[in-house]
């Protein structure tokens, strides 16, 4: 019997394209609050943004969505994008910037493998801001499989790291 194909180790998701209603408003969030850098902009139709000079991690475009309302939450489509921060301190800085900008935190969780905050960008798309724990600290069941959890996250302790 042939083994099922398994995607190669080391494969990653390189970037995401999001439909937005207004490029400048989206940039106020992604650049102004979260700190992404503009790599290339095509007027008010598209912008490619990055962390650290990569060609783009996120593309924002208005090709089919200019001045349109957000997609309804109870339909198929994107649930959220996830932005992985390198350290817990960096996640704390992001959390403080989000709070200072008046953006509500929709949720927060300790997943055992990671700590996560959930917010929405101006067009209603979900955004997860998170940091992974070291793989050696990930919870595992008796067979060694990863055993993710959803427990409350101590947001106050996270905030204090960068204050």
- At 7-21, the pLDDT tens digits run 989 998 889 999 999
Cα separation, 24 vs 38, whole angstroms:
12
- At 105-163, the pLDDT tens digits run 999 999 999 999 999 999 999 999 999 999 999 999 999 999 999 999 999 999 999 98
Are residues 62 and 83 both part of a single domain?
A: no
Flag whether 2 is in a domain: no
Are residues 121 and 53 both part of a single domain?
A: no
Question: Is the pLDDT score of 60 beyond 80?
Answer: yes
Flag whether 72 is in a domain: no
Residue 86 has what pLDDT? 96
Average pLDDT along the chain: 95
Range of the domain at 62: 14-66
Flag whether 149 is in a domain: yes
The whole-number average pLDDT for the span 54-81 is: 93
Are residues 24 and 84 both part of a single domain?
A: no
Are residues 127 and 54 both part of a single domain?
A: no
Question: Is the pLDDT score of 1 beyond 80?
Answer: no
- State the CATH number of the domain containing residue 61: 3.10.180.10
Are residues 61 and 130 both part of a single domain?
A: no
Are residues 142 and 114 both part of a single domain?
A: yes
Are residues 156 and 91 both part of a single domain?
A: yes
């Amino acid at each position: 019997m042939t083994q099922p194909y398994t995607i190669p180790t080391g494969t990653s998701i390189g970037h995401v394209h999001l439909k937005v209603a207004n490029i400048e408003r989206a940039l106020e969030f992604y650049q102004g609050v979260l700190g992404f850098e503009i790599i290339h902009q095509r007027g008010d139709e598209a912008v490619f943004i990055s962390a650290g000079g990569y060609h783009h991690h996120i593309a924002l475009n208005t090709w089919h969505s200019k001045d349109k309302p957000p997609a309804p939450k109870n339909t198929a489509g994107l649930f959220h994008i996830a932005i992985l921060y390198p350290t817990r301190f960096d996640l704390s800085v992001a959390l403080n910037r989000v709070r200072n900008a008046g953006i509500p935190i929709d949720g927060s969780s300790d997943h055992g493998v990671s700590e996560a905050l959930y917010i929405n960008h101006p067009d209603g798309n979900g955004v997860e801001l998170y940091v992974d724990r070291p793989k050696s600290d990930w919870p595992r069941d008796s067979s060694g499989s990863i055993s993710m959890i959803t427990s409350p996250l101590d947001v106050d302790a996270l905030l204090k790291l960068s204050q």
